[in-house]
Structure 1
Amino acid sequence: MFHKEGYKIIFITMLIVAGIIFTADAFIDIFWLQKTLQVAGLVLLILILQFFRNPKRNTQLNEAHIIAPVDGKVVVIEEVFEKEYFKDQRLQVSIFMSPINVHVTRYPISGEVKFSKYHPGKYLVAWHPKASEENERTTIVVENETVGPILYRQIAGALARRIVNYAEEGRQVVQGTDAGFIKFGSRVDVFLPVGTKVNMQLNQTVKGGEDIVAIIEG
């Protein structure tokens, strides 16, 4: 299964690759060059297909659980000052997605979208300390009665040039369902109340929609 955000790119890539294969076959007589171009085209198509894959995830719904919104590696667990929405100290958990990870963003909790804002910006590498404040990004806050408001932030990376965000203020959303997509490299930050016991460690590989970031009892 592929994400809907990739349909157009996949279709265009298929046309390009088909053109490369038939053109090389018809006009290039040097065997090794012909096959090199054809294989390169197929490799490109495979890379695009794997990037836009959208595997089904088995989310165990629980209002007290904060689940990983994306696939990737945990690169930050630290207390920071969140100055856009909470304007106080929060525990930040950051998950970095490489180009080979699934790039679907999923809602970390069920509840009501209280805040959703897009910020244009730079394209620093996603692990850069200033990426959270200076890169293209979206900030989303979802709230339910058990855990209160939870903020997650989609951050574009050096290769990313478009963040897709489906969260609309006032909308009721379900944990683990499709919340958006970040094209070609990125990071997602989750902001939790200070003192929250995080259920993962630095450099741990996590699976979006399934692995639990933290449990917060109301």
Structure 2
Amino acid sequence: MAGDLLDSRGRGEAQWGLPAIHPEGRKFGIAALGISLVFALFAWETLAWPMAFLSLGVFAFFRDPERVVPQDETSIVSPADGKIVQIAEVAPPRELVIADGSGTRGLGEEPVTRISIFMSVFDVHINRTPIAGMVQRVVYIPGQFLNAELDKASEDNERQHILVERSDGVQIGFTQIAGLIARRIVPFVKPGDTLGVGQRVGLIRFGSRVDVYLPAGTGSRVMLGQRVVAGETVIAELGKQPLREGVSQ
């Protein structure tokens, strides 16, 4: 059940169940299913079956499974399901650094570790906050729809920056980036909202990327090519810069 406490010693209760479908996707799935039924009524089976499979694909794309979110203060969790495609030292985006007139402080200008997570159309596309805290900024930037795996997608594509600050002043900036197929970023939060770690913040339709800008002095715990799970995989620990090595096989 959502909200239940589970731990690493086997306490709590977990059961298997079908994931929920996010309301944002139900209308698309129901529309595709309705068109399939119309085709079936007119005995147009060559069109009915593809539309039926399309409706199943839409429902699967918008699935919204529960996640068991780590609650310790040092963990930064992944904001997205997908594959780690880039880990680099870069300056944070200008929109997360400059004063925006709201009186809230932005990130520093010095380079930090950026972790880029690519989501294919087969991944869950609900994004979650890496830390608990208050939403300080939500900045939408219109742009292009280049392949989200490209480095320049961080600066050229349609994107939305989100800045979250903990009560102790620790800040995390992350960016939802539309991709080659994605055509809309749907936010669930606004400035002033208070979030728990791993809480849902938005989604991107259909195949995209999320960049996470770690706090200064914090390095990646994940490796290139590794798959991560939103709200569950710990991608970094505050103040630690571990070196991890892996072999692709």
Q: With structure 1 as the length reference, what TM-score do the two structures score?
A: 0.90
Are the aligned partners of 1:63 and 1:110 in contact in 2 as well (CA < 8 Å)?
A: no
Q: 2:49 is matched with which residue? A: 39
User: Which structure 1 residue ranges, 4+ long, deviate > 3 Å from structure 2?
Assistant: none
Higher deviation after alignment, 159-168 or 194-203? 194-203
Q: Which amino acid aligns with 1:130?
A: K
Residues 1:171 and 1:39: Cα distance change in structure 2 (over 3 Å) = same
The alignment partner of 2:48 has SS state of helix
Whether 1:197 aligns to 2:219 is yes
Residue 83 (structure 2) pairs with residue 73 (structure 1)? yes
**1:15 corresponds to 2:25:** no
Give me the CA root mean square deviation. Answer: 1.7
CA-CA distance at 1:145 after TM superposition? 4.1
- SS of the residue aligned with 2:148? coil
Q: Could you tell which deviates more after superposition, 119-128 or 56-65?
A: 56-65
Q: Which has the higher contact order (CA 8 A, sep 6+)?
A: 1
Counterpart in 2 of 1:58?
68
Give the number of the structure whose residues are more often strand, by fraction: 1
Q: What is residue 21 of structure 2 aligned with on the other side?
A: 2
Equivalent in the alignment of 2:202:
180
C-alpha contact (below 8 Å) 1:107/1:177 kept by paired residues: yes
What's the % identity of the aligned pairs?
A: 39
Alpha-carbon shift at residue 60 of structure 1 (Å): 2.0
Question: What corresponds to 1:164 in structure 2?
Answer: 186
Partner of 1:122: 144
Match for 1:3: what amino acid?
H
**Structure 1: where are the runs of 5+ without partners?**
29-33
In 2, the alpha carbon distance for the partners of 1:136 and 1:61 equals: 32
Preserved contact between residue 36 and residue 47 of structure 2 (Cα < 8 Å):
no
SS of the equivalent of 2:213 reads strand
Once residues 114 and 168 of structure 2 are traced to their aligned partners in structure 1, the CA distance between those partners, rounded to angstroms, is 19
Residue ranges of structure 2 left out of the alignment (5+ in a row): 1-19, 98-106, 241-249
1:149-203 deviation digits (Å, cap 9, x = unpaired): 1001000001111101122112211111111010101100000134423111100
Describe the shift of the 1:53–1:83 C-alpha distance in structure 2 as closer, same or farther (beyond 3 A).
closer
Whole-angstrom CA distance in 2 between matches of 1:52 and 1:37 = 23
CA contact (8 A) 1:150 1:192 kept: yes
Q: Aligned ranges for residues 68-147 of structure 1 at < 5 Å?
A: 68-84=78-94, 85=97, 86=107, 87-145=109-167
